[in-house]
Amino acid sequence: MTALYPSSTVKVALLDLGERLQVNLDWLARKLNSLQSSFTFTTVAPVTSAKIGDTNIQEDWNTWYEFEPMFCLLRCHGCFTKYSYIIGITHLAVTERVEDTGKSGGEYFSLSDIEKVAVISLNANVLKHNSPSKSAYQYLAHIMVCELLIMLCKKDLIHAKNNFCLFDDCVDRALFRQSIELGEICEECRSKLKKHNISNKVITDVLAVLKWCKTDLIKYSVRKTLLNPFTLLSIGTGFGWLGSAFVKPNHYLAVLFSLLSIPVFVFIYERCRS
């Protein structure tokens, strides 16, 4: 296998499988291109729901689409010969059949054919395991670089050892949150990548993407800031000073009661809503 050097930019096509995505793939492609230079991401024409057809696997009340027919759709796409790799993003629940039983293996985050095409699911059943501090775009980017490295190596790099590495096998869905929040490639996997002629430049660029993926959303950071005890203390002190300056002493109890009633009402509301 020829080593991937910085000058060898890999062309990657992104497309919507099913035309029901609630993310903007053009924005994601621009973001990824701004973070690194080893890959060039471009959006191409989507695959319609009509072409995908009906679900392949049904068990009780659950239904899934199998990966292999989706891989075939990507291989038949008009862009197949123009790009090094093609990644389809779908809102559908996708799975792989268990060979012994022929039944579903449960919802998958993603899978590739290890050669050229990959499918990533944005279905609610898997997206709910994303970290609450990360966006759907960060979720996609995290999985995307994982599948790209696997296809570059032409080898499944996923390992059973769970050390919060990009290549952790997240059968326990809760592990995905820890993996994206740490955003690392373990030393063992770095050695494997280098043995498969993946250059330091590519690894560095992937780590740059992972660094963005593990960055908390602004709204999440604001919420954490507002809930921080020191922030609450400073706000309380400020209100206390304003109160002492503008509220007469004989009105202190009435104002205090009014202020304390607010968190009580908020607590009752949250309990009822849950």
Q: Which of 46-50, 53-57, 106-110, 228-232 bottoms out in mean pLDDT, i.e. has the lowest?
A: 228-232
What is the total count of domains within the chain? 2
Give the pLDDT score at 32.
Answer: 98
User: Would 20 be classed as within a structural domain?
Assistant: yes
Q: Looking at the structure, do residues 31 and 131 belong to the same domain, yes or no?
A: yes
Q: Looking at the structure, do residues 15 and 146 belong to the same domain, yes or no?
A: yes
**262 pLDDT band (50/70/90 cuts)?**
low
Q: Looking at the structure, do residues 174 and 236 belong to the same domain, yes or no?
A: no
Give the pLDDT score at 246.
Answer: 62
Q: Looking at the structure, do residues 256 and 171 belong to the same domain, yes or no?
A: no
| Residues 205, 85, 137, 181, Cα dihedral to 10° | -50
What's the rounded Cα separation, in Å, for the pair 273 and 265?
Answer: 12
Q: Across the chain, what does the average pLDDT equal?
A: 83
- Confidence check: pLDDT of 161 > 70: yes
User: Would 223 be classed as within a structural domain?
Assistant: no
For 116-151, write each residue's pLDDT tens digit. 999 999 999 999 999 989 999 999 999 999 999 999
- Choice between 100 and 22, residue whose per-residue pLDDT is larger: 22
Question: Half-sphere exposure (CA, 13 Å, Cβ side) for 144?
Answer: 31
- Confidence check: pLDDT of 239 > 70: no
Mean pLDDT, rounded, for 76-96: 95
Entry pTM: 0.79
Q: Looking at the structure, do residues 141 and 64 belong to the same domain, yes or no?
A: yes
Give the pLDDT score at 101.
Answer: 52
- Confidence check: pLDDT of 263 > 70: no
Give the pLDDT score at 157.
Answer: 93
- Structural domain including 256 reads 228-273
Give the pLDDT score at 5.
Answer: 43
Mean pLDDT, rounded, for 197-216: 94
Give the pLDDT score at 86.
Answer: 98
Q: Looking at the structure, do residues 74 and 179 belong to the same domain, yes or no?
A: yes
Give the pLDDT score at 260.
Answer: 62
Give the chain as a DSSP string. ---B-TT-PEEEEEEEESS--SS-HHHHHHHHHHH-SSEEEEE-PPBPHHHH-S-SEEETTEEEEEHHHHHHHHHTSTTTTT-SEEEEEESS-EE-B-TTT-SB----SEEE-SSSEEEEE--HHHHTTS-TTS-HHHHHHHHHHHHHHHHHHTS---BS--SSBTTB--SSTHHHHHHHHH-B--HHHHHHHHHTTB-HHHHHHHHHHHHHHTSPPHHHHHHHHHHSHHHHHHHHHHHHHHHHHHS-GGGHHHHHHHHHHHHHHHHHHHHHH-
Give the pLDDT score at 274.
Answer: 46
Q: Looking at the structure, do residues 179 and 232 belong to the same domain, yes or no?
A: no
For residue 82, give the H/E element and its range.
none
